[in-house]
């Protein structure tokens, strides 16, 4: 009897042996317990024992890869035994009784061949057919017949298989770049190993080599341990299981695990991509006729195009030509082609080290490669997979397949850098030094491979690489500055008031009052954002950064800051809601809405009173509007608040609804705090996270009415801006403007604050504000402001 409880704890080999032995016994019992049919007059004698019947495993059991809690995929093959139906019933029912999941079929060899030649999934499964018990000769004939059928039908089945995998890739993504990858079905996962064996079986590709087998085996190990941990069939490497799986596999931590998974997935995907190119070329039907030589077209010195690939010219001497590697790579990218696999191998074996500093011709080829844009990405991946990129840039190994836990990032660090360089190639016409832009884009996050702030750590690393590449001293300094401050513009634009002269002066001083550096940083910010995700570089952020750059440029030109259209500006179309019975107030609430970049601008006017910003923020949150920036101004006792918002669920704000809600909140008939607590409970958007916030003060970066900036980094939740501004107001500070940035499940809120008396914020008052902000971020019911806000009037 099979011990199901012990099965998950066994090794793969032990698990397969245990299941094989059990299934073999079941087959013998099934055949022995099924009486043969009565012999017909003149017919062949009935078969006895397992002669003419074989139990064959396919799928993971057929490949000897059965994972914990895996399915059993079995085929009962027979050779005309009339009692085969009874044998099958006697075999399948005991398996079902154990609770194991079973995918089964009963086939003769002609039936199996017929199915395999028309159904790509069935044909792929039968390639793994392995005898478990019964007639070995019958199983061998089945395997030979299905293999022959697969080869014969390859021109029809392989394109279907390719399309299936591409569709899965579109839906599930690439294994190498996912933070919670599907180890089996994501592109570059275990399925790709099966695809490679299927192509090899069709004699259109090579068998997987030892390196590839190791990558595949590692993914099997990860899946096995994941299923042991979860206790059920599950192939998605979810975040909460990554640390225990990494410990079980002897890896340092979950990042080390994710990095090894990425490396394995990238290798599988790279080889499969190359294999599909070979298959597609082999399956193209060419007209009959005389053989024609493939035309060889010169692309660069020692490099030619041959068909759809780039190869070395006949007279090329890679061992004596240090520049040939990058010259060939640049030629391939410029022609939107790839280097042939054989050429890659030759270059990997024979290319000598590049002299340091790099000769001008080598540096020019490298820049030409980067300037090719999107076409350079697969070529650089070729260099990376053959270990050639790390020869050129030894620092690259520190960021290779390094995961990024930030919710905005789509790629590992190294792929993000390559994507940023490709995006920068589209901006080279906008800058005076495109060479520095391209290299800075490739290196801007290189510091993430070392401990510490990656911008600070990356500065000397980029400087060393720039000097090794042969850039002059001044250019190396500029390159280091670009890496050190590549986040300056987007961080300032989204977290500071760009209409404040102090903000403009601080940016100008940071970049050394150099217009050329400002120009390069602007292009680098765009490339970095585009390579990260659409959330990281939205039209809203692009608008803010461009406005900041224009203001700083005006400051650097020595004249007044140009009069630009404000990032936030009032709108003329307004809806009015009269206030009723509110002591100490006069006038009305006005609301105007205007479409702006990537959202709407909401302008709310009302009588000046403490906490009006908090009230407006609460109303906006209640109407499912995410606030990204806010600015308050007071004139003649009337306050105007301008808010940049984006609808959380795509519904544009309605001015009448907002005006009525603000009026009701001011009159005390709308309990904002209670309604927002209920909204938070309904959506549970923070998933139970209660990490304490990080609060920092920046008192030397402001001018005008504000006396300081308080920055709060906290878990995002419904009504967070309302709670924070209410907490600040309760401690006697006014908020003049705010900048809000949401980073996945986290928010960074920056508030320009001042005392109404104009006095500075003293340490004891700052401590009270910090305490109130902490309470506000966790939604504490004991918060004084929330209790007061629930009280009408």
Residues 124 and 173 in one domain: no
Q: What is the mean pLDDT of residues 272-294?
A: 74
**Dihedral class, residue 450 (left if φ above 0, else alpha if ψ from -120 to 50, else beta):** beta
Q: What is the pLDDT of residues 489-499, one digit of tens each?
A: 999 998 888 98
142: in domain:
yes
530 close to 423: Cβ distance less than 8 angstroms: yes
Residue 567 maps to a domain:
no
Could you tell me if residue 618 is inside a domain? yes
17 has a pLDDT exceeding 80: yes
Please provide the average confidence, as pLDDT, over all residues in the chain: 88
Residue 562 lies in a domain: no
Q: Is residue 502 part of a domain?
A: yes
pTM of the model: 0.86
> How far does Cα 435 stand from its chain's mean position?
28
Distance, in Å, from the CA atom of 653 to the CA atom of 646, rounded to the nearest integer, reads 9
Q: What is the mean pLDDT of residues 727-753?
A: 85
pLDDT one-digit tens code per residue, 759-772: 888 899 999 999 99
Confidence of residue 585 (pLDDT cuts 50, 70, 90): very low
Residue 596 sits in the same domain as residue 543: no
- Residue 772 and residue 763: Cα distance in Å, rounded? 14
- Which pLDDT band, with edges at 50, 70 and 90, does 275 fall under? very high
- Amino acid 582: pLDDT: 46
- Band (629; pLDDT cuts 50, 70, 90): confident
For residue 682 the two structure tokens come to 């309904």
Residue 175 lies in a domain: yes
Same domain, 764 and 718: yes
Question: What pLDDT does residue 168 have?
Answer: 87
Q: Residues of the chain with pLDDT > 90: what percent? A: 64
Given 508, 526, 556, the domain boundary residue is 556
Partner residues linked to 338 by β-bridges: 309
The CATH number covering residue 629 comes to 3.30.70.260
∠ CA 89-90-96, nearest 5°, is 75
Of 556, 587, 604, which marks where a domain is finished? 556
pLDDT interval class at 563 (50, 70, 90): low
Residue 700's pLDDT is 72
Is residue 511 located within the same domain as residue 636? no
Q: Please give the Cα distance from 524 to 529 (Å, whole number).
A: 8
Give every CB contact of residue 217 below 8 A, 6+ residues apart in sequence. none
What pLDDT, in 10s, does the model give residues 310-324? 999 999 999 999 999
Residue 2, in any domain of the structure: no
Taking residue 361's Cβ as centre, other Cβ atoms within 10 Å add up to 13
**What's the mean pLDDT in 25-49?**
69
Q: Do 432 and 580 have their domain in common?
A: no
> Based on the number of CB atoms within 10 Å of its own CB, is 641 exposed (0-12), middle (13-18) or buried (19 or more)?
buried
Tell me the average pLDDT across 702-709: 77
- Of 444, 642, 466, which Cα lies nearest the Cα of 526? 444
Phi, psi of 345 (to 5 degrees): -65, -45
Residue 43 lies in a domain: no
Phi, psi of 505 (to 5 degrees): -65, -40
Residue-wise burial string across 548-573, b where 16 or more C-beta atoms lie within 10 A, e elsewhere: bbebbbbbbeeeeeeeeeebbeebee
Q: DSSP secondary structure string, 363-380?
A: HHHHHHHHTTGGGHHHHH
Residue 252 tokens, joined: 């340092």
Residue with structure tokens 């961080």? 491
Say yes or no: 93 and 208 in one domain: no
Give the pairing type, strands 102-108 and 72-78: parallel
Q: Do 307 and 275 reside in the same domain of the chain?
A: no
- Let me know whether 116 and 264 are in one domain: no
In terms of DSSP H, where are the helices of 693-793? 720-730, 763-777, 784-789
Residue 102 has pLDDT above 70, yes or no: yes
pLDDT of residue 635: 82
- 100 Cβ contact partners less than 8 Å away, ≥ 6 residues apart: 4, 71, 72
Left (φ > 0), alpha (ψ -120 to 50) or beta: where does 354 sit? beta
| Model pLDDT, residue 266 | 97
- 145 confidence band (pLDDT: 50, 70, 90): very high
Write out 301-321 in H/E/C secondary structure: CCEEEECCEEEECCCCCHHHC
User: What CATH number does the domain containing 426 carry?
Assistant: 1.10.3090
For residue 116, what is the domain's CATH number?
A: 3.30.460.10
The pLDDT value recorded for residue 792 is 37
As for how many domains the chain has, the answer is 4
Residue 599 pairs in a beta bridge with 596
- Domain identity same for 346 and 373: yes
Per-residue pLDDT at 254 exceeds 90: yes
Token pair recorded at residue 561: 């800051």
Q: Tell me, yes or no, whether 615 and 546 share the same domain.
A: no
> In the predicted model, what is the mean pLDDT of residues 86-92?
94
CATH number at residue 263: 1.20.120.330
Same domain, 360 and 271: no
- The residue among 371 and 646 whose pLDDT is bigger is 371
DSSP helix/strand/coil, 197:
helix
Q: In whole angstroms, give the CA distance from residue 123 to residue 129.
A: 10
Assess contact for 386 and 380: CB atoms under 8 A: no
Q: What is the number of residues in the chain? A: 793
Residue ranges making up the domain that contains 674: 575-789
For the stretch 401-425, pLDDT in tens is 999 987 778 999 999 999 999 999 9
Domain match, 160 and 123 both: no
pLDDT at 21 over 70: yes
Q: What is the mean pLDDT of residues 429-442?
A: 96
pLDDT classification of 692: cutoffs 50, 70, 90? confident
**Domain stops at, among 106, 132, 152:** 152
């Amino acid at each position: 009897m099979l011990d199901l409880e012990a099965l998950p704890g066994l090794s793969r080999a032990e698990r397969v042996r245990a299941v094989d032995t059990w299934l073999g016994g079941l087959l013998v019992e099934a055949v022995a317990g099924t009486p043969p049919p009565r012999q017909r007059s003149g017919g062949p004698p009935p078969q006895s024992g397992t002669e003419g019947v074989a139990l064959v495993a396919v799928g993971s059991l057929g490949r000897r890869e059965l994972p914990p809690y895996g399915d059993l995929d079995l085929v009962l093959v027979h050779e005309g035994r009339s009692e085969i139906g009874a044998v099958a019933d006697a075999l399948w029912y005991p398996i079902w009784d154990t609770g194991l999941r079973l995918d089964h079929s009963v086939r003769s060899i002609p039936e199996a061949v017929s199915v395999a030649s028309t159904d790509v999934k069935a044909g792929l499964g039968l390639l793994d057919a392995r005898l478990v018990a019964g007639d070995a000769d019958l199983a061998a004939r089945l395997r030979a017949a299905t293999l022959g059928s697969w080869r014969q039908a390859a021109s029809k089945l392989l394109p279907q298989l390719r399309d299936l995998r591409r569709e899965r890739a579109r839906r599930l993504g690439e294994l190498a770049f996912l933070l919670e990858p599907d180890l089996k079905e994501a592109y570059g996962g275990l399925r790709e190993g099966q695809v490679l064996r299927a192509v090899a079986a069709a004699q259109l590709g090579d068998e997987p080599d030892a390196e590839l087998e190791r990558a595949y085996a590692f993914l099997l190990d990860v899946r096995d341990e994941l299923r042991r941990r979860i206790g059920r069939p599950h192939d998605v490497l979810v975040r909460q299981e990554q640390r225990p799986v990494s410990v079980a596999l002897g890896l340092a931590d979950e990042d080390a695990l994710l990095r090894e998974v990425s490396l394995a997935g990238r290798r599988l995907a790279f080889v499969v991509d190359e294999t599909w190119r070979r298959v597609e070329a082999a399956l193209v039907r060419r007209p009959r006729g005389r053989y024609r030589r493939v035309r060889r077209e010169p692309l660069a010195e020692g490099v030619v195009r041959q068909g759809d690939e780039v190869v070395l010219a006949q007279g090329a001497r890679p061992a004596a030509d240090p520049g040939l590697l990058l010259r060939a790579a640049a030629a391939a990218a410029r022609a939107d082609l790839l280097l042939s696999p054989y050429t890659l191998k030759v270059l990997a074996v024979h290319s000598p080290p590049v002299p340091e500093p790099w000769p001008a011709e080598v540096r020019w080829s490298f820049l030409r490669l980067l300037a090719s844009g999107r076409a350079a990405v697969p070529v650089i991946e070729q260099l990376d997979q053959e270990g050639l990129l790390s020869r050129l840039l030894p620092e690259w190994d520190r960021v290779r397949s390094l995961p990024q836990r930030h919710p905005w990032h789509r790629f590992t660090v190294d792929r993000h850098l390559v994507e940023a360089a490709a995006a920068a190639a589209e901006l080279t016409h906008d800058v005076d030094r495109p060479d520095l832009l391209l290299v800075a884009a490739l290196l801007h996050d290189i510091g993430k491979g070392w401990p510490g702030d990656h911008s600070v750590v990356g500065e000397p690393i980029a400087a060393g690489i720039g000097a090794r590449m042969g850039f002059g001293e001044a250019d190396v300094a500029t390159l280091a500055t670009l890496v050190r401050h590549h986040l300056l513009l987007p961080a300032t634009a989204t977290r500071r008031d760009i209409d404040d002269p102090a903000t403009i002066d601080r940016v100008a001083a940071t970049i050394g009052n150099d217009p050329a550096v400002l120009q390069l940083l602007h292009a680098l910010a765009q490339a970095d954002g585009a390579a990260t995700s659409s959330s990281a570089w939205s039209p809203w952020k692009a608008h803010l950064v461009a406005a900041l750059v224009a203001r700083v440029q005006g400051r650097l030109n020595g004249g007044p800051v140009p009069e630009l259209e404000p990032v936030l500006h009032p709108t003329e179309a307004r809806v009015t809601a009269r206030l009723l019975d509110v002591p100490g107030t006069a006038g009305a609430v006005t609301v105007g809405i205007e479409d702006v970049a990537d959202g709407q601008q909401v302008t709310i006017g009302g009588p000046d009173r403490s906490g009006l910003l908090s009230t407006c923020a609460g109303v906006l949150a209640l109407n499912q509007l995410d606030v990204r920036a806010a600015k308050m101004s007071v004139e003649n006792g009337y306050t105007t608040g301008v808010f940049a918002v984006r609808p959380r669920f795509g519904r544009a704000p309605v001015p009448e609804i907002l005006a009525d809600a603000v009026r009701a909140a001011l009159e005390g008939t709308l309990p904002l705090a209670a309604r927002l607590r209920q909204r938070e409970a309904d959506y549970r958007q923070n998933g139970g996270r209660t990490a304490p916030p990080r609060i920092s003060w920046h008192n030397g970066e402001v001018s005008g009415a504000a006396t300081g900036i308080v920055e709060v980094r906290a878990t995002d939740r419904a009504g967070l801006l309302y709670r924070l501004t209410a907490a600040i107001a309760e401690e006697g500070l006014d908020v003049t403007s705010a900048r809000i940035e949401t980073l996945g499940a986290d928010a960074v809120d920056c508030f320009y604050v001042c005392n109404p008396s104009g006095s500075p914020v003293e340490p004891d008052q700052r401590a009270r504000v910090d305490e109130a902000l902490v309470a506000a971020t966790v939604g504490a019911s004991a918060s004084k402001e929330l209790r007061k806000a629930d009280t009408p009037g």
